[in-house]
Structure 1
Amino acid sequence: MTLVEDEAFYARIEDQLEVTEKRLSAEALGADNPFIAEASRHVIGAGGKRFRPLLVALTSHLGPAPSDERMSLAGAVVELIHVASLYHDDVMDEASIRRGVTSANAAYGNSLAIMVGDWLFAKASSIVTALGTDFVRIQADTFGELVAGQIAETTGPQPGEDRLSHYLDVIAGKTGALIRTSAVFGAMASRAEPGVIEALSRFGMQLGMVFQLCDDLIDITSTSTGKTPGTDLREGVATLPILLLEASEDPEDEPLKELLGHGVDTDAEVERALTMLRASHVIAEAREEIAARAEAARGELAVLPDGPPKRALDRLCDEAINRSN
């Protein structure tokens, strides 16, 4: 993410992210047990987008008292929570690859992967105490939302519950909550005004929803993401395009509904379903939903002071939309 007029600002952000990266490495390596140190840095060391620490860094310039120390602590907390959740997700999904390396559960077994994930959650909880009780409360609430989202996904919609609303609640908990907290933590670390923090909370939730909706759409529309296309279809996961299809009353959608209703198991069935979905109206409708949420996120930035941080956050809205196109 680069804007020519903001080169100095982005250089500053890169420096801040480097400090956060060093803290993450130090926390992983600092385990008393050598095995925990090795297993905890297994996924941390594989890198990743570090999107959550980026949000912390960007919003840490929106208050009157920016602090690299507080920013790096907050950035490490949100990334450790994210990585810990990945360890647990990979066990539940029986994944074999994470960030281009063997997943922790494949490398060490399910039980150890879960316990290392728990250790990372505990480490995040320890670090956040240095930031104060307000941060501790938000971190605990966010953790609760992550777990509730995962439970809701696992148990599925309750009788009579709208499937689309359930799906949106799941991704709000599993993805939106931590991205929201990342945006809030950076602002809090710089002692931003309450109105700014509240706007960033709403911004972060919408942006988090956009990113997950994009990922779910890319699983259908793209063949060059490094992820096997149609993974969600194979696993029977109903994402936004599928739910929009289910709600459609267009008779022309019946053949695709029938195909998906029987389940797609073979490679040929998956490929046929993907081809039909890519030609369906639900792809455009899903993109409209993504664009609407990105614009809603952008609208929350109006209260922010003009300057590089606001422009950077605005640019994230554009990038979020472009990911699905």
Structure 2
Amino acid sequence: MTTTAPPGSFTAGVHDRLSRLADDLPELVRGPVRTLIAGPGKFARPRLLAACAAFGTPDPGRLVRLGAVVELAHLASLLHDDVIDEARTRRGAPAAHTAVGTEQAMLAGLACFALVGTEAADLGEGVAGAVSTAVATLAYGELLDVERAFDTAFPLPAYLEVVRCKTAELFRLCCLLGAAEGRCGPGETDALVRFGAALGVTFQILDDCLDLSPSGSGKPIGTDHALGLFGAPTLYALRADRGGELARLLLSPSFGVRDLPEAHALIKDRGGLEAAARLAADWHGQALDALRGLPAGDPRDRLAALTTSLLDVPS
């Protein structure tokens, strides 16, 4: 399969490393992984890692390998998420499980996680420990997410705990690994880690809003709602759903994508979208507060610019 690397020497290097790692996978699972690598992703997590490392003096070769580790962990989670969420598409193409079957897609995800562990171990004990902790947290977050399905009274604090584990943890890991590779001091490292965790929560809240309407990002709509996985806008709206109309619609056995316009209207009418926007703004503010704790200069400016681009259209 011919793939096209994203522009930029760093992202091109990460893409090349991912392709080389995928080539070493067994033939049974190589195809789904290479398809995801070739997809139009934004390489958000490797770019975040590199931006954090720029506060110090990273080794370029190690930085590329670290970027591949975090992107591969992300791809592994996508393979498994699409099976659990029954998503039909991913990045504008058929999801792996629809193309090769559920078992093969799950094996491909496991193979990616195995590669993540191998690469992390080869990069050193500190990297291996941080990555293994993050992967365990991601898995725990996925379990929390599945357990809360169709809970129309799911509390907002519990939702945020799911988000911190399932999404923000990988953002936090990128910042931690970047700071470590850049040999940043304790103060800078702490600020970068807090920044990454808050950015990840913001990212997921905004992503939840995309489940309600088309975005042009290749993200399938309605998947989360059809599985009873209600994001911030819906949870806020359900709290204001005095007559129970929204809850009845969402819990209807026949609920599907065709019902999204009605659900969207009810959620908007009950203030769910506005409340979610305020929540995202609050977490974005926390990320910016952490950013302001870093030394002024080009690295901070570039990290701020990257933050703006990442929160434009999640991928």
Report TM bin, short chain: 0.7 to 0.9
Separation in 2 of the partners of 1:259 and 1:186? 45
1:53 pairs, out of 46, 67, 83, with 46
Range 36-45 or range 208-217, more displaced: 36-45
Deviation of the 1:224 alpha carbon: 4.1
Equivalent residue number for residue 22 of structure 1: 16
1:297 aligns with 2:302: no
User: Could you tell me which amino acid in structure 2 is paired with residue 24 of structure 1?
Assistant: L
CA contact (8 A) 2:198 2:287 kept: yes
Distance apart, 1:222 and its partner CA: 4.7
**Matching residue's letter, 1:311:** D
Number of paired residues? 306
**What secondary structure, in the 3-state scheme, does the structure 2 residue paired with 1:220 have?**
coil
Give 1:242 deviation, angstroms. Answer: 1.6
1:81 to 2:70 alignment: no
Q: Provide the C-alpha distance between the structure 1 equivalents of 2:92 and 2:220, rounded to a whole number of angstroms.
A: 13
- How much does 1:258 deviate? 4.5
Unaligned runs of 5+ in 1: 1-12
The answer to whether residue 207 in structure 2 is matched with residue 215 in structure 1 is: yes
How far did 1:171 drift?
Answer: 1.5
Gaps of 5+ in 2: 1-6
Per-residue CA deviations over 1:54-95 (Å, capped at 9, x if unaligned) read 1011111111x2211111111010011110111111221222
Cα deviation for residue 263 of structure 1 reads 6.0
Distance 2:61 2:261 in 1: 50
Aligned residue number for residue 310 of structure 1: 300
Distance between the aligned counterparts of 2:310 and 2:14, measured in 1?
A: 23
Q: 1:49 to 1:179 in 2, by over 3 A?
A: same
Instruction: Indicate if the aligned counterparts of 1:62 and 1:187 stay in contact, CA closer than 8 A.
Output: yes
- The answer to whether the Cα contact below 8 Å between 1:210 and 1:320 also exists between their aligned partners in 2 is no
d(CA) in 2 for partners of 1:222, 1:95: 15
> Using the alignment, how far apart are the partners of 1:309 and 1:275 within structure 2?
42
Task: Tell me the alpha carbon deviations over residues 218-272 of structure 1, each in whole angstroms, 9 at most, x when there is no partner.
Answer: 2225554444543333222211112112323x75x65444444546615553322
Partner of residue 259, structure 2? 269
Matched, 1:237 2:229: yes
Q: Hey, what does 2:117 align to over in structure 1?
A: 125
1:62 to 55, 60, 64: 55
**In 2, Cα distance between the equivalents of 1:95 and 1:193?**
42
Identity of aligned residues (%): 31
Q: TM-score, normalised by structure 2?
A: 0.88
Amino acid paired to 1:272: E
Q: Distance in 2 between matches of 1:102 and 1:282?
A: 31
Residue 170 (str. 1) matches residue 167 (str. 2) = no
Q: Which structure carries more relative contact order (alpha carbon 8 Å, separation 6+)?
A: 2
| Distance of 2:251 and 2:109 partners within structure 1 | 35
Shift, 1:131, TM fit: 2.4
What is the TM-score with the length of structure 1 in the denominator? 0.85
- Residue of structure 1 equivalent to 2:270: 280
Q: Which residue identity does 2:51 align to in structure 1?
A: L
Larger radius of gyration: 1
Contact 2:45 2:171 in 1 (8 A): yes
Question: How many angstroms does 1:293 deviate by?
Answer: 0.3
Is 1:87–1:104's contact at 8 Å kept on the other side of the alignment?
yes
